[in-house]
Structure 1
Amino acid sequence: MPSNKLTILIADDMDSIAEFIKAQLHTLSNDIDFQRARDGYETYRCALETSPDIILLDWEMPEISGMEALKNLKLNPKTQDIPVIIISSFSSSDKVKEALEAGAIDYVRKPIETDELIARVSSAMTLANTLRELKVQKQQLETEQKKTHHILKNILPAEIVKSLKSGVVIQPRPYRNVTIIMADLVNFTEKATRMSPRKLLDELRIIFTKFDEISQKHNCVRIKTIGDAYMGVSGMFSNSKEHALRAAKMACEMRDFIRDRNKQNGIQWELRIGLNSGEIIAGFISEHNLSYDIFGDNVNITARMQTYSGPMQINVSESTRKLLEPHYNFVRRVPQRVKGKGMIEMYYLHKPREDQSFNTKSINSNQHSPIT
């Protein structure tokens, strides 16, 4: 915690004058800490190291003059706001003007008159206290801004957060070529009843944090989580022609993470994943709701893909299969009747084609054999 005392740096090469100034200023307040410098270089170094609240700076000092020190102080962002009062035997108005134009807030002539010194330093103390308060308020504001940014980053896509910070009005807009990823945990409700709330939230936090990392790795965007459900989109901001391939790699790596974690974790989770490609509309639900969501028929189809998927399977639509056909083999499933859509073709993502090179692990087709 910073001290409530004000710190005054007295910069003068003559001990008698420095002690005189210190003695007079003690009458102002007992809550003043004094520092001492004997030349311009020492003044500048001390100001950088300790950030005094006020500097009383003698113009005529050896080595580096007080005026040169003042100019250097005003050039450095760390010291440029410190109030500086120049003390000098120069009495001409030109010298006063020069000091004020260089950045001094006031000017005291030698020989020093006590009343004038106290009055000018008292005024500088008021300014220093105001600067202190502003600095604290600025730090508090920056802390709150960081908290707000962290919250927004966790609930909104990074690109949307950047736009909001830039003052851009986010309008609903279509994205014509994307792949939607939906995943949920199998038998979540049943398993949740056997866990404490803290354990349940810890499990979801670990799993979804990893899913976020996987999403970022493959340039996909997490849209939202609802309970045990996770939704993301590939190609939304990147306009990549490989949006389906990135979504497939993301889905495979999500599943691999769950498999690997189950080997070391007492709670055994299984995923159902659905993929579908096409056009969506994205935007905020309302002016008063920060939920950035996606809409459209293809979102509904993706939800059906996920619902009709088997445990630890990746169920893809016909549109996604066509985009992934150069890269993956598929297992065709029995078409399913979907309300409002009739019979829909579905396929399980089987394994990468032998001539393809992937960073994701190969799918073990013997585990959880596809439903045919």
Structure 2
Amino acid sequence: MANERAPMLRPDDASHLNGRVARVLKSYLDQALSAPSAAIDGFVGMMIEDAGGDQYAEFMADLERIKVANMQLSLLIAEAGSSGVLLTADAENRALVLSRLKHDLRTPLNAIKGYSEMWIEDMSTLEGRPFVADLTHIRDCTDQMLARIEQLTQVGELRGESDAEVPMATSAAIAEFLRAVSPAAAEMDAPRLTGRILVVDDDPTNRDLLRRRLAREGHDVSLADDGATALAKVAAEDFDLILLDMIMPGMSGFEVLCRLKASETSRHVPVIVISGIDDIGSIVRCLEAGAEDYLPKTFNPTILRVRITTSIERKFLREREERLLLNVLPRPILARMRNGEAAIADRFAQVTVLFCDLVGFTPLAGRLTPGGTVDLLSRVFSAFDRSVARRGVEKIKTIGDAYMAAGGIPETTPDHARRIALLAFDMMADVEEVGRALGVELAVRVGIHSGEAVAGVIGQSRFAYDVWGDSVNIAARMESHGQAGRIHISESTRRALGGDFFCTPRGVTHIKGKGPMETYFLDGASHAGNT
């Protein structure tokens, strides 16, 4: 707004703000003026292509004049933005520079606008109004640029007593930018994420410079002077980020990048390419190959710091997302979904399903506080989760105080029954240990059955990997018809275990929905079963 003023600043802040205003002006030139000029060039190029032939000879000549005027305009914008005048001049001299720039820019702009308006008028009389739409776009671009250069000289100068009072820019865009960068600059001093970074560069000076700069930021830095060394280090150690040079003797940085992204163990590690090559084709190739970012070797240290922090933060977020997903889906199933499988459902000829239920949990929960109940279940199920991971089977789900697991899915394993049997003994020990720690008596019933089953992913917004079939129902019946502190198994599970475990026949048990079945209590594992 025209009369809006910034807050009062201390005298020693004035020079800092002066430099910041200058940098904002440079960005304003680059973005607010260069974009319309590039658009003009694009429209002119298309019209030159479409207007070939003698029919539009005079029009073609004026299009070339528009093109030349636009080139002059682009050069003026580039010179003003790249020269040090705006960055080094004090407020008074900068105002003079901006006034002269405004005058210089108006000359080619008026030429472009004059030619485009003349041809809009002439072409509007012809059938189909050829080129009128493109010429109108060009005229609108010149109007936009003329309005923007009017704003250049309206930027406030540093003046007032001791240069402490700073009027804001009349331009709303510049004023808003200045307001926005102030809190952003303050946040630069906030604590940043740190991590383990591998610097890959054949130049020892570059390696040392990056090592020292990154160490100051609190990062743990490792160095590699060629691609082979870098790949060996990544295979042996965990890194949160890799800074990779492109041109190196032997293996190029691009080949290193491709190998990193082709490997399951290293593809998740973000890579920032730092290279002296600023060819757009090379940049695109690296980004398409999986690079997180691409910076020129003459990088700004502040930009590098921000890019590093952002890359490490993204990696940490991806890892957290991975852990959350693996709490819901088995790793092989997650990999299949990421490869594009929309519907996952597999039939398994032989799996072993386990149900484990806390005995007397309902009255126990009635005596505990809500927090105590949640704490008890959390401790028990966390212990079960660790045992499941140790035995190499899959947790399927928890239902209240019941816990379901299965062996032989999602990938077939011939010893699925043995793994589940050992898990059952682990669970009984886990519950006993938690009970001792909390000072309560805890016991479980465990039921196990082996047979055919179907497993797959259900849900759209909230995925779940589940198991279905008669084997699931029988395993649930084994648990509900079992006894506290015992592992109740079916005949098929006993056969699958062979002679590796000791079993006590229970006799014929009437199983709801199945009728009479021979069942057993699992008492322990032989030496062979424990191996």
Question: 2: distance between equivalents of 1:317 and 1:50?
Answer: 65
* 1:152 aligns to 2:315 (yes or no): no
Aligned to 1:174: 347
Instruction: Name 1:213's counterpart in structure 2.
Output: 386
Match of 2:212 among 32, 46, 49: 49
Shift of 1:22: 10
Amino acid at match of 2:381: F
Alpha-carbon distance, 1:257 to partner: 2.4
Q: Alpha-carbon deviations, 1:287-336, whole Å to 9, x = none?
A: 34401110001100000000011001000011111222412232222433
CA distance in 1, matches of 2:89, 2:301: 18
TM-score by length of 1: 0.63
Larger Rg: 2
* 1:327 corresponds to: 500
1:184 paired with 2:378, answer no
Q: Could you tell me which residue of structure 2 aligns to residue 163 of structure 1? A: 336
Structure with the bigger RCO (C-alpha within 8 Å, sep 6+) is 1
C-alpha change, 1:23 and 1:321, in structure 2 (3 Å) is same
Change (3 A) 1:180 1:25: same
CA distance in 2: counterparts of 1:186 and 1:70, whole angstroms: 63
**Partner Cα separation in structure 2 for residue 182 and residue 233 of structure 1:** 9
Aligned to 1:267: 440
Matches within 5 A, 1:115-134: none
Match of 1:315 in 2: 488
Q: 1:327 and 1:70 mapped to 2: Cα distance? A: 58
Shift, 1:136, TM fit: 6.0
Q: Distance in 2 between matches of 1:255 and 1:282?
A: 26
1:281 lines up with 2:454 in the alignment:
yes
| Number of matched pairs | 282
**Does the 8 Å contact 2:354/2:446 carry over to 1?**
yes
What CA distance in whole angstroms lies between the structure 2 residues aligned with 1:130 and 1:291? 42
AA aligned opposite 1:45: D
Kindly provide the amino acid, as one letter, of the partner of residue 300 in structure 1.
N
Look up the equivalent residue of 1:144 and give its one-letter code.
L
Q: Write the letter of the residue equivalent to 2:213.
A: T
Maintained 8 Å contact 1:177/1:235: yes
Moved more, 324-333 or 127-136: 127-136
> Does structure 2 retain, via aligned residues, the 8 Å contact 1:48–1:79?
no
- Structure with more of its chain in strand, by fraction: 1
Cα shift readout 1:114-150 (whole Å, capped 9, x = no counterpart): xxxxxxxxxx99x998887766655554343223212
What is the identity percentage for the equivalent residue pairs of Structure 1 and Structure 2?
Answer: 28
Structure 2 equivalent of residue 248 of structure 1: 421
TM-score by length of 2: 0.46
Match of 1:213, SS state, is helix
Going from structure 1 to structure 2, the CA distance change for 1:142 and 1:272 (only over 3 Å counts) comes to: same
What secondary structure does 1:179 align onto? strand
Contact 2:478 2:489 (C-alpha < 8 Å) held by counterparts: yes
Q: Runs of 5+ in structure 1 lacking a partner?
A: 7-20, 34-39, 52-68, 85-98, 106-123, 361-372
How far does residue 207 in structure 1 lie from its aligned partner after superposition? 1.5
Q: Distance in 1 between matches of 2:422 and 2:415?
A: 11
Q: Which amino acid aligns with 2:497?
A: L
Residues 1-372 of structure 1 mapped to structure 2, 5 A cutoff: 25=87, 42=205, 45-50=208-213, 80-81=273-274, 138-353=311-526, 356-359=527-530
Distance 1:264 1:188, change over 3 A: same
Given residue 306 of structure 1, which amino acid in structure 2 is its aligned partner?
E
Amino acid across the alignment from 1:181: L
Aligned residue identity for 1:46: L
What is the DSSP-based 3-state SS (H/G/I as helix, E as strand, rest coil) of the residue aligned with 1:163? helix
Between Structure 1 and Structure 2, the one with more helix by share is: 2
Farther-moved stretch of structure 1 (135-144 vs 238-247): 135-144
Alpha-carbon spacing, 1:70–1:279, altered in 2? closer, same or farther (3 Å): closer
SS in 2 for 1:224: strand
Equivalents in 2 of 1:214, 1:204: separation in Å?
Answer: 15
Q: Secondary structure at the match of 1:145?
A: helix
Say which SS state the counterpart of residue 327 (structure 2) adopts.
helix
Task: Check conservation: 2:445, 2:483, Cα contact below 8 A.
Answer: yes
Q: Contact 1:71–1:102 (CA<8 Å) still a contact in 2?
A: no
Q: Go from structure 1 to structure 2 and tell me whether the alpha carbon gap of 1:322 and 1:133 turns closer, same or farther (over 3 Å shift).
A: same
CA shift, 1:192, in A, is 1.0
The secondary structure found in structure 2 opposite 1:345 is strand
Please state whether the residue corresponding to 1:193 is helix, strand or coil: helix
Distance 1:265 1:43, change over 3 A: closer
Q: Is the 8 A contact 2:410 2:455 kept in 1?
A: no
Structure-2 separation of matches of 1:148 and 1:154: 10
| SS of residue in 1 equivalent to 2:483 | coil
Check the 8 A contact 1:275/1:306 in 2, yes or no: yes
Change (3 A) 1:269 1:49: same
TM-superposed deviation, 1:263: 3.9
How big is the shift at 1:221? 0.9
Whole-Å separation in 2 of the counterparts to 1:296 and 1:266: 39
Letter in 2 for 1:50: R
Any idea what SS the aligned residue of 1:333 has? strand
> Are the structure 2 counterparts of residues 293 and 45 from structure 1 closer, same or farther at C-alpha, using a change threshold of 3 Å?
same
**3-state SS in 2 of match to 1:330:** strand
Superposed displacement of residue 43, structure 1: 5.7
- Is the Cα contact below 8 Å between 1:234 and 1:246 reproduced in 2? yes
Q: Deviations over 1:229-284 (max 9, x none)?
A: 11111112442222111111111121122234434430221010000000110112
Q: Give me the CA root mean square deviation.
A: 4.2
